Structure 1
Amino acid sequence: MWAPVRCAVVHMVSLPPALAGDPFTLASAAGVLSLYAGLPHHAAAEERPLLLIHSINAAASAAEMRPVFEHYRRQRPTYAIDLPGYGCSDRSRRVYSPRLMTDAVHALVGEVQRRHGATPVDAVALSLGCEYLARAAHEAPAAFRTAALLSPTGFNRSEPFAGPPGSSRGSSRVHRYLAAPWLGGRLFRGLTRPGVIRYFLQRTWGAKQIDEALWAYDVLSTREPGAEHAPLYFLSGLLFSADISTVYQSLALPVWMVHGVRGDFVDYRYQAALAGKTNWSFTVMPTGAMPHFEQPDDFFRRYDAFLALARAG
């Protein structure tokens, strides 16, 4: 069951925290961010911090990283973020962009390093969150030791996304249309009915069986004030980076990319362009796009092996 403690951001009225760790807020250039800390009470508290970044969709939140958070918070300092416009973070009406999301990742890293020292962190991101992690690592390479990309976006064609730096793949005109007073709220409510959320999770899993606790939290999360603002930018394509292939190619740190073979997220043809990079490693698991939910033990074993290689290197 979800803890009875409510979100710390004042505009939230009913949403419980996404994770069982210690929730706290951080005022940042990206707005007020909701963060979760899992801090072991022994020598493991001195281990290198781990950062978790969820995906972007109509109902996203840090709850998407729950299995990873629960596993590692007993072994090392583990932090998760609700990205701007999601979960318990600021959901105000404003411009949502890759720049805003990346700034939120930078803010999380800054707070973690303030607490634990300037040691480079390990980070795990999911789906579109991978683009923001990659950009943050590109902009501040000394802040990150490794990056794990779960079912990352930007790989679904052979040609690179090599647009101007900082550009997006979306359309402001489409966003203005979707966000029109007569359409935006109605569209969002239609996309976030409980049955529709279940449908999209089943497409993500590539199976009828999904994580029911995640579905229940998604339903709650989409009922919060301002829940439609960031998703309408997502639907307009404005949260996808048009230069993300250039960003991925620029990374020099150890990168682990993992994805599944079922559901809607199985096209990773651009992976071939990175196969020759010695700092990149790739894993395909017999799952949908959420391998950390479906096969957690195997996922953790493979991730630990990746981290061990990074330490040895």
Structure 2
Amino acid sequence: MDALPVLPPALPGERLSFDGLNCYCAGNGPPMLLIHSINAAASAAEMRPLYERYAATHTVYAIDLPGYGFSPREDRVYSPRLMTDALHTAARHIRALSGGAKVDGLAVSLGCEYLARAAAERPDDWRTVALVSPTGLNGRTPRRGEPCSTRAVPGLYAALSQPLWANWLFRQLTRPGVIRYFLERTWGGRNIDETMWAYDVLTTRQPGARFAPLYFLSGGLFSADIHTVYEAIPHPVWVSHGVRGDFTNYTGMYMVTGGGNWTVTVFQTGAMPYFEVPEAFGAAFDAFLKSPAAAK
């Protein structure tokens, strides 16, 4: 059997353990937490451009959510509750390290659902909430299920996780060419970030890499009450998204923005605009962080 490739750190700086969860840290200043998306090959590597940029002005942290990167990849139930609790843990540690300062949070794609829930549940931990290409806002069907209910398809996880084929299935989904295909769908074109692709390939080859992604594929990491959660965020909220690729349908956003604390910026990019137009993204994010609403 071939030896598993060694996984290097996804980001420079210090690596901290928050009750076992891996979190990268760099810089000096107000605390900021970056939260990656959820997919078959996710990790804090997705946050590299923002992590490097904001280390110049903030103490910036980038977490590996449970099941990803250097955080535990246990064979357990992965759920929105687990991911949200991981953010509660990170916020508690970050605030302790920052003299009690509130945290500016930024998340990508499905990670946005967990940041939103964390902010709604424990608003005193957070100063602002930034959502990049958030999930749950496509279509016009309200998602107001029971608290912490999920969109898991009954029986699908059991089928995907059968020992006879679970590992084989995950290997097929994470072949280098398949990872490239899904990144191209995220970017909406072939000009993906090659460094991120290479790290995605490595991180999917680690022990336990399949456990969280199989819950993702079964729908068990999506929140069935997400519209209620988004509406409950009391902080200033900045949403940004692109116009290419798979993450361009935000027709349901009107259902959660009635409180007047949401602002939206659209970039002519794919779902990770901070990779494609880092200066324009940074300028818009900086303006949000310095806005009168954020200063309250």
Q: TM-score higher than 0.5 here?
A: yes
Residue aligning to 1:37:
25
Distance apart, 1:312 and its partner CA: 4.4
Distance apart, 1:306 and its partner CA: 0.7
1:255-301: CA deviations, max 9, x gaps? 00000000011111111223433110001110000001010100000
Residue aligning to 1:302:
284
Residue aligning to 1:8:
none
1:106-144: CA deviations, max 9, x gaps? 111011011112221101000000000000001101111
Greater CA drift, 279-288 or 18-27 = 18-27
Separation in structure 1 between the aligned mates of residue 33 and residue 142 of structure 2, nearest angstrom: 27
Instruction: Tell me the amino acid that sits aligned with residue 268 of structure 2.
Output: P
Residue aligning to 1:26:
18
2:219 pairs, out of 233, 237, 253, with 237
1:149-199: CA deviations, max 9, x gaps? 000000011122100011000135110110001121111100100000000
Residue aligning to 1:150:
132
Separation in structure 2 between the aligned mates of residue 311 and residue 170 of structure 1, nearest angstrom: 35
Q: For the aligned residues, what is the CA RMSD? A: 1.2
Residue aligning to 1:7:
none
The two structures have a TM-score, normalised by structure 1, of 0.91
Distance apart, 1:105 and its partner CA: 0.5
The two structures have a TM-score, normalised by structure 2, of 0.96
Answer whether contact 1:172 1:238 (CA < 8 A) is retained.
no
- Number of positions where the alignment pairs a residue of Structure 1 with one of Structure 2: 292
Answer whether contact 1:167 1:242 (CA < 8 A) is retained.
yes
Separation in structure 2 between the aligned mates of residue 140 and residue 131 of structure 1, nearest angstrom: 14
Residue aligning to 1:171:
153
| Change in 2 beyond 3 A, CA 1:280/1:109 | same
Residue aligning to 2:41:
59
Answer whether contact 2:153 2:220 (CA < 8 A) is retained.
yes
Residue aligning to 1:199:
181
Percent of pairs identical after alignment? 56
Structure 1: runs of 5+ lacking an equivalent = 1-11, 40-44
Does residue 1:255 correspond to 2:243, yes or no?
no
Separation in structure 1 between the aligned mates of residue 257 and residue 149 of structure 2, nearest angstrom: 25
Moved beyond 4 Å, runs of 4+: none
Answer whether contact 2:34 2:63 (CA < 8 A) is retained.
yes
1:91 pairs, out of 73, 76, 85, with 73
Does residue 1:123 correspond to 2:105, yes or no?
yes
Distance apart, 1:227 and its partner CA: 0.2
Separation in structure 1 between the aligned mates of residue 8 and residue 99 of structure 2, nearest angstrom: 30
1:78 pairs, out of 60, 70, 79, with 60
Distance apart, 1:50 and its partner CA: 0.5
Instruction: Tell me the amino acid that sits aligned with residue 17 of structure 1.
Output: P
Separation in structure 2 between the aligned mates of residue 13 and residue 183 of structure 1, nearest angstrom: 22
Instruction: Tell me the amino acid that sits aligned with residue 37 of structure 1.
Output: C
Separation in structure 2 between the aligned mates of residue 81 and residue 269 of structure 1, nearest angstrom: 30
Separation in structure 2 between the aligned mates of residue 115 and residue 79 of structure 1, nearest angstrom: 11
Distance apart, 1:33 and its partner CA: 0.8
Residue aligning to 1:285:
267
